[in-house]
């Protein structure tokens, strides 16, 4: 065997004259594509072309996968459309060279093969994947506010037809090898051991590459495309608006205009993407990606290896937290006052496991990991005890007094309290440093964020362990101080209360919700309040009102006292049929939508400024991350503080002042604005 070694690639030629090009990015655990990688790949392809081998197989030496996509840090360095275009054309040229090789080329895929990875594989004549659910192919670019630009759509569209390829590109979803084979994206799906033999066979046999069926081809026909393009746009429109997320719409246009010409599509891909990459949406979504990485890195303490979790309180939260921990592989015991109180949680757990795990053997294994334990025997072996009982400080304290002597000396005690300061609870403990808050959000299986609440006595190591545990159950930890409402509820509540005030003033609920969703919120505040439960909203609002001297709208109190608690009771602001709101029309009133949006958003921003001033979180980035992952705050705006900076602190401050005059003291700008406007060198008064 002959060997040539480069930094990121290694080429070997075997005795059958097949070149095996190994990609093993030198400076990272994952293969990603950047300018340097492209340069080296290009050099290799030129050498290999000159060598005229029997075939070329491209494979990854990384255990986690083939290629995860483009190096996203490169996106933040692109400063102009021209620079972006050069980078994209460079990648396209390299993949075109690969595509044009006269001998069989095979991408040998295991693990992640996403974005640029799938684009590279599409420039090969064949794709072989390992047969396991962890092997994923896809073009997820729309999730970052962009679309494929290295020929991903130009090559996928003729291979699969318009319908299948646009479905993959517009949804950004990834698929395993078997699904890829069914769709025509993958030529062979084989277990680990015969992977190389499969690639070798394709080189030797050189079968004709996959051709789409006639009906798949038909979807690319020039008469069909305008019609399908409208259908695609309508489907995309249900999820995102063109103003906020232009990339899927741009992709539909490119396909509609150029589907049958690879050259034209390549040019259009690069031109369009160069504009998108440098646009605000993509830059903000890339920011969100890095915020997520930042939260993940907070839980990186690898030395912490808990095994046993004991959850006390099998209600709405505790039951679901226990199920989630068991789903993520922990041995969990679940305690409540009686077996009858645990039973509903076990049923919900089964439904969760069935939905997530599908295979009966896996479901049974997960059920075996979750033990009902009404006597609380599990306390003694638990590495972490999570308390999620009634929101009553004395009840919680007396439980702590009872369990602490039975806990392992190094076990953590985590409370899911949503409002009680940790200091009020830790007084019952002889080791108060072991108490930390793990504030989960409802529904646990859907909400990514967990606030890790640090009381004055919480030790740094317990806090670090709580964050590491949060990562182990695949949640994002956000360290916050033990102050009323912590971060997310405190910022969300004024926004929800303003929605209630607006509704009480007579603004139709649908219009209030529309103002918020048009701003970019995933759900309007009225529907959100109904979904959370109006009793829970009222409870949190009361706690916050105590500390922050805020007023609670009478309308909310009345709804709760009348038993209209939102979705769970069938009626709140909206009426619910089968769990879905029946939304009345908006009526004929002439409402000022801009003012409605401003009132909602400014109260949220004002509270964000207040939290930052009080150091509830360490910095602006963590605040933005918390609101994006805890509430879905318009990701394309990059978070509340990023939005505030983009619009300008002075402008927003003045809007608050005007609203204060018009609508009352609740719009009084927080003192924290002074620092923000000063930092811009501006006057605040
Ligand atoms: P829940 O009322 O649904 O469940 C509480 C459970 O604790 C009940 O099943 C009760 O029998 C059990 N319990 C009470 N005292 C107990 C004791 N001494 N020993 C064993 N079990 C006991 O309450 P939920 O909504 O699950 O709330 C629990 C905690 O989570 C509270 O601290 C709440 O503030 C917090 N939280 C609630 C959220 C929500 O949306 N419901 C969101 C985030 C936090």
The rounded distance, in Å, linking the Cα atoms of 265 and 150 is: 10
Give the residue among 544, 557, 530 at the shortest CA–CA distance from 603: 544
Q: What is the pLDDT of residue 455?
A: 97
The rounded distance, in Å, linking the Cα atoms of 245 and 12 is: 44
> Is 0.85 surpassed by the pTM of this model?
yes
Please check whether residue 174 is in contact with residue 143, taking contact to mean a CB–CB distance below 8 angstroms: no
Residues contacting residue 400 through CB under 8 Å, at least 6 positions apart: 387, 413, 425, 428, 429, 435
Q: What is the pLDDT of residue 587?
A: 81
Segments in 161-279 forming alpha helices (H) = 162-171, 177-183, 195-205, 214-218, 225-239, 247-258, 262-277
Residues 555, 556, 558, 560, Cα dihedral to 10°? 160
Which of 310, 317, 543 has most ligand 1 atoms within 8 Å of CB, for mutation? 317
Pair type for strands 65-67 and 112-114: parallel
Q: What is the pLDDT of residue 548?
A: 83
Distance 656 CA to ligand 1 centre (A): 38
Residues with CB under 6 A from ligand 1: 312-318, 335-337, 341, 388-391, 395, 399, 416-418, 440, 442, 536
Q: What is the pLDDT of residue 656?
A: 97
Q: What is the pLDDT of residue 669?
A: 97
The rounded distance, in Å, linking the Cα atoms of 225 and 632 is: 34
Give the residue among 493, 521, 526, 491 at the shortest CA–CA distance from 507: 526
To the nearest 5 percent, what fractions of the chain are helix, strand and coil? 55, 15, 30
The rounded distance, in Å, linking the Cα atoms of 586 and 590 is: 10
Place of tokens 């790949």: 41
3-state secondary structure 338-403: CHHHHHHHHHHHHHHHHHHHCCHHHHHHHHHHEEECCCCHHHHCCCEEEECCCCCHHHHHHHHHHH
Ligand 1 atom closest to the Cα of residue 317 is: 26
Distance 369 CA to ligand 1 centre (A): 22
Delineate the domains of the chain, giving CATH numbers in brackets.
2-278 (3.90.226.10), 308-482 (3.40.50.720), 489-615+648-684 (1.10.1040.50)
**Catalytically annotated residue among 8, 110, 439, 642:** 439
Local mean pLDDT, 10-residue blocks, the chain (685 residues):
66 97 95 95 98 98 96 87 95 98 98 98 98 95 96 98 97 97 97 96 97 95 96 95 95 97 98 95 95 96 94 97 98 98 98 94 97 98 97 96 98 95 96 98 95 97 97 98 95 96 96 96 96 93 87 95 96 95 87 97 98 97 98 96 97 97 96 84 45
Distance 313 CA to ligand 1 centre (A): 6
Write b or e for each residue in 648-670: b if 16 or more Cβ atoms lie within 10 A of its Cβ, otherwise e.
ebbebbebbbebeeeeeebbebb
Paired tokens of 172: 């950004």
Please check whether residue 657 is in contact with residue 669, taking contact to mean a CB–CB distance below 8 angstroms: yes
Paired tokens of 71: 């190096």
The rounded distance, in Å, linking the Cα atoms of 437 and 456 is: 12
Among protein residues, the one whose CA lies closest to atom 9 of ligand 1: 315
Which of 314, 338, 385, 388 has most ligand 1 atoms within 8 Å of CB, for mutation? 388
Give the residue among 426, 422, 439 at the shortest CA–CA distance from 477: 439
Q: What is the pLDDT of residue 680?
A: 55
Ligand 1 atom closest to the Cα of residue 395 is: 18
Distance 388 CA to ligand 1 centre (A): 5
Q: What is the pLDDT of residue 684?
A: 42
C-alpha pair distances (Å), 384 with each of 120, 261, 373, 437, 566:
45, 59, 15, 12, 34
Q: How many CB atoms lie within 10 A of CB 435?
A: 28
Q: Which region holds residue 441: left if phi is over 0, alpha if psi is between -120 and 50, else beta? A: beta
Among protein residues, the one whose CA lies closest to atom 16 of ligand 1: 389
Q: Strand pairing partners for 3?
A: 12
Active site residue 439: yes
Q: What is the pLDDT of residue 679?
A: 62
Please check whether residue 515 is in contact with residue 600, taking contact to mean a CB–CB distance below 8 angstroms: yes
Distance 351 CA to ligand 1 centre (A): 20
Q: What is the pLDDT of residue 334?
A: 98
The rounded distance, in Å, linking the Cα atoms of 202 and 198 is: 6
3-state SS class at 496: helix
Distance 145 CA to ligand 1 centre (A): 39
Write b or e for each residue in 450-459: b if 16 or more Cβ atoms lie within 10 A of its Cβ, otherwise e.
bbbbbbebbb
Among protein residues, the one whose CA lies closest to atom 44 of ligand 1: 418
Give the residue among 463, 448, 450, 313 at the shortest CA–CA distance from 390: 313
Residues contacting residue 412 through CB under 8 Å, at least 6 positions apart: 306, 383, 384, 385, 434, 436, 462, 465, 466, 469
290, exposed or middle or buried, with CB in 10 Å at 0-12, 13-18, 19+? middle
Among protein residues, the one whose CA lies closest to atom 15 of ligand 1: 389
Q: What is the pLDDT of residue 423?
A: 95
């Amino acid at each position: 065997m002959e060997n040539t070694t480069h930094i990121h690639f290694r080429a070997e030629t075997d005795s059958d004259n097949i070149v095996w090009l190994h990609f093993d990015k030198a400076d990272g655990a994952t293969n990603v594509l950047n300018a340097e990688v492209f340069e080296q790949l290009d050099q290799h392809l030129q050498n290999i072309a000159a060598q005229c081998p029997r075939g070329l197989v491209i494979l990854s030496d990384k255990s986690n996968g083939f290629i995860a996509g483009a190096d996203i840090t490169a996106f933040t360095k692109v400063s102009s459309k021209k620079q972006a275009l050069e980078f994209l054309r460079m990648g396209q040229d390299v993949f075109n060279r690969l595509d044009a090789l006269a001998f069989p080329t095979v991408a040998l895929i295991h693990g992640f093969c996403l974005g640029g990875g799938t684009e590279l594989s599409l420039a090969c004549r064949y794709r072989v994947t390992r047969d396991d659910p962890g092997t994923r192919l896809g073009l997820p670019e729309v999730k970052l506010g962009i679309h494929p630009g290295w020929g991903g759509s130009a090559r996928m569209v003729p291979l699969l037809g318009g319908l299948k390829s646009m479905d993959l590109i517009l949804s950004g979803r990834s698929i395993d090898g078997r699904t890829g084979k069914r769709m025509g994206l993958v030529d062979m799906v084989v277990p680990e051991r015969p992977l190389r033999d499969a690639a070798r066979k394709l080189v030797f046999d050189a079968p004709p590459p996959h051709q789409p069926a006639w009906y798949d081809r038909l979807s690319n026909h020039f008469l069909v495309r305008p019609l399908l393009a409208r259908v695609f746009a309508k489907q995309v429109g249900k999820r995102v608006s063109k103003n906020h997320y232009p990339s899927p719409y741009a992709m539909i246009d490119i396909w509609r205009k150029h589907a049958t010409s690879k050259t034209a599509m390549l040019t259009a891909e690069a031109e369009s993407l160069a504009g998108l990459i440098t646009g605000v949406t993509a830059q903000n979504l890339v920011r969100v990606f890095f915020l997520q990485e930042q939260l993940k890195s907070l839980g990186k303490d690898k030395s912490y290896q808990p095994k046993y979790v004991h959850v006390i309180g099998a209600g709405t939260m505790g039951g679901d937290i226990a199920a989630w921990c068991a789903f993520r592989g922990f041995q969990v015991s679940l305690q409540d006052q009686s077996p009858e109180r645990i039973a509903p949680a076990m049923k919900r757990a089964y439904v969760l496991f069935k939905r997530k795990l599908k295979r009966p053997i896996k479901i049974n294994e997960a059920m075996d990991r979750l033990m009902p334990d009404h006597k609380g025997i599990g306390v003694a072996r638990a590495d972490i005890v999570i308390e999620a009982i009634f929101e009553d400080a004395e009840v919680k304290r007396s439980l702590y007094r009872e369990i602490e002597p039975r806990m392992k000396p190094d076990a953590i005690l985590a409370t899911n309290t949503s409002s009680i300061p940790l200091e009020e609870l830790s007084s019952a403990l002889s080791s108060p440093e072991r108490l930390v808050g793990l504030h989960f959000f409802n529904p646990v299986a859907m909400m990514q964020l967990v606030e890790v609440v640090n009381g004055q006595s919480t030790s740094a190591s317990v806090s670090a362990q709580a964050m590491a545990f949060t990562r182990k159950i695949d949640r994002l930890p956000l360290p916050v101080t033990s102050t009323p409402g912590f971060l997310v509820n405190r910022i969300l509540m004024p926004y929800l209360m303003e929605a209630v005030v607006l509704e009480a003033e007579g603004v139709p609920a649908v219009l209030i919700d529309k103002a918020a969703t048009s701003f970019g919120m995933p759900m309007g505040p009225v529907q959100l309040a109904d979904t959370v439960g109006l009793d829970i909203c009222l409870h949190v609002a009361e706690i916050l009102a105590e500390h922050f001297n805020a007023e609670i709208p009478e309308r909310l109190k009345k709804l709760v006292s009348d038993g209209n608690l939102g979705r769970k009771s069938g009626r709140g602001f909206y009426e619910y049929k089968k769990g879905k709101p029946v939304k009345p029309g908006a009526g004929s009133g002439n409402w000022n939508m801009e003012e409605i949006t401003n009132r909602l958003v400014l109260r949220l921003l004002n509270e964000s400024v207040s939290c930052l001033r009080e150091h509830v979180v360490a910095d602006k980035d963590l605040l933005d991350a918390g609101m994006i992952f805890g509430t879905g705050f318009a990701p394309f705006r990059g978070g509340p503080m990023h939005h505030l900076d983009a619009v300008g602190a002075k402008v927003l401050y003045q809007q608050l002042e005007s609203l204060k005059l018009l609508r009352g003291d609740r719009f009084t700008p927080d003192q924290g604005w002074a620092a923000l406007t000063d930092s811009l060198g501006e006057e605040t008064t």
